[in-house]
Amino acid sequence: MGAFFRDCVPKAEVFQSNLAMARGFRANRIVLVVYRWQGRGCCVSPVTQSFRGKELKPSESLKIDAFSMRIADIEGIDLDRLHAHSLSVGWPHRAEDWQFLRESGQGFVALDEIGRVLGSAMWFPHGPDFATIGMVITSPRLQTLGAAQWLMKRVFDKIPGRDLRLNATRAARRLYLSLDFQPEKTLYQCQGIVRVPTKGSAAQSRGDMRTLDAGDIRTVVALDAAGFGVQRTALIEKLFAHSTGYGLFRESKLTAFALCRPFGRGHVVGPVVAESDADAAAVLRPHMADHSGSFLRVDTHMDSGEFAAFLSHAGLPVFDTVLTMSLGKRLADFSVGGLVVPKTYAVASQTLG
């Protein structure tokens, strides 16, 4: 045996255990755990010893202790750490996208003892009565353990009394239902390598099309408010600074617009606000021409009709879905009455709404 240890398994681990002394009898056993040693042919696989006819198998894992988390303002976290955080769950946000969101809203992160980002949640207020919530990210295990709910309750403390809206992934729907959010409608994430459709009546619309500039911000804010239900002046101004916009005008009046900016794997178009499917497709079409052959994304509630067909013909099929949910006023409560009502055909993003 000595030669075996010396020549074949010089690093073998030998554990001697008195397995049953406490029960009033003596039983000394030697357990050999022998691992393969490169360069020697005589080594064997790990050996499982037995005691009184029962195999003694070591556990594959051992829980040592639980860890704690602390809350921190998202503003003080390095962008690289936030980027790694969203990548860990497969979200496409770049560091630049995180920075845009931090400039547009507020948020918290959950950190472990050594400063790793384990969770996040943000909110984007629009006036004193309304906010959207987004970038709620935790691992599935931490969500099960209550980390996401803990973050959400911290967010609630900062925006009491507001009507809230968010877009929930499948993994997060149970969380939001437990917090009394109500389901509204499905949001379709349409994306792909875009091409300009060569057919389809939705690609045509009457009116004058032109690029939007800073002088159009006021009318864009008003049209967005009519479609979204809430005035979002600060957000639209910030989107203008990062986007290219096209507007459809009839008799010098803005009737539809679409903004497009860099995001994730390519570009995202949104918001898109118009009075009809044809107008929505018309303001989207020049963005498709600008980015033909590149990655483009559009998030829309439209599941049928000319606009949905236009996206499909342009190479932007449905990739995934989320569920728009609300707390407080329902989505229908924000609608504007009238014969011709502007609609939001594409949201600014899943996070911003």
The CATH number for 138's domain is 3.40.630.30
Domain count within the chain: 3
Whether 63 is in a domain gets the answer no
Are 266 and 339 members of one domain? yes
| Domain end point (choices 145, 161, 177) | 161
**Structural domain harbouring 25:** 2-55
Same structural domain, 82 and 23: no
Q: Does 154 share its domain with 302?
A: no
Residue 194 within any structural domain of the chain: yes
Instruction: Look at residue 176 and tell me if it is in a domain.
Output: no
Give the range among 4-8, 96-100, 150-154 with minimum mean pLDDT: 4-8
Q: Is the pLDDT of residue 229 over 90?
A: yes
- Residue 303 or 25, more confident: 303
Q: Which two tokens stand for residue 318?
A: 């449905």
Judgement on whether residues 215 and 338 belong to the same structural domain of the protein? yes
Residue pair 316/190 in contact by the 8 Å Cβ criterion: yes
Task: Name the residue with higher pLDDT: 135 or 140.
Answer: 135
Whether residue 334 is found in the same domain as residue 193: yes
Q: Does 181 reside within a domain?
A: no
Q: Is residue 155 part of a domain?
A: yes
Tokens of residue 122, six digits = 């943000």
Q: What is the pLDDT of residue 145?
A: 77
- CA 230, 170, 296, 93 dihedral sign is positive
What's the confidence (pLDDT) of residue 54?
Answer: 52
Domain shared by 228 and 305, yes or no: yes
Least confident of 52-56, 253-257, 292-296, 312-316: 52-56
Look up residue 60 and give its two tokens. Answer: 């594959």
Question: Is residue 167 domain-resident?
Answer: no
What span, in angstroms and rounded, lies between the C-alpha atoms of 179 and 138? 16
Is 60 contained in some domain? no
Rounded to an integer, the average pLDDT of 209-227 is 96
Same domain membership, residue 224 and residue 271 = yes
Question: What local confidence, expressed as pLDDT, does residue 59 receive?
Answer: 55
Report helix, strand or coil for 199: coil
pLDDT number for residue 338: 55
DSSP class of 90? T
Give the C-alpha separation, 309 to 315, whole Å.
10
Please state whether beta strands 208-211 and 244-250 pair in parallel, antiparallel, or not at all (unpaired): antiparallel
Q: SS3 breakdown of the chain: % helix, strand, coil, rounded to 5?
A: 30, 30, 35
Nearest in space to 109 (alpha carbons), one of 101, 181, 63: 101
What rounded mean pLDDT belongs to the chain? 83
Q: Return the structure tokens found at 314.
A: 């342009």
Q: Are both 133 and 45 inside the same structural domain?
A: no
Rounded distance between C-alpha atoms, residue 250 and residue 140, angstroms: 50
Q: Are residues 148 and 199 in the same domain?
A: no
pLDDT at 10: 36
Can you tell me the distance from the alpha carbon of 109 to that of 273, in angstroms, rounded to the nearest whole number? 33
Sign of CA dihedral 232, 235, 241, 247: negative
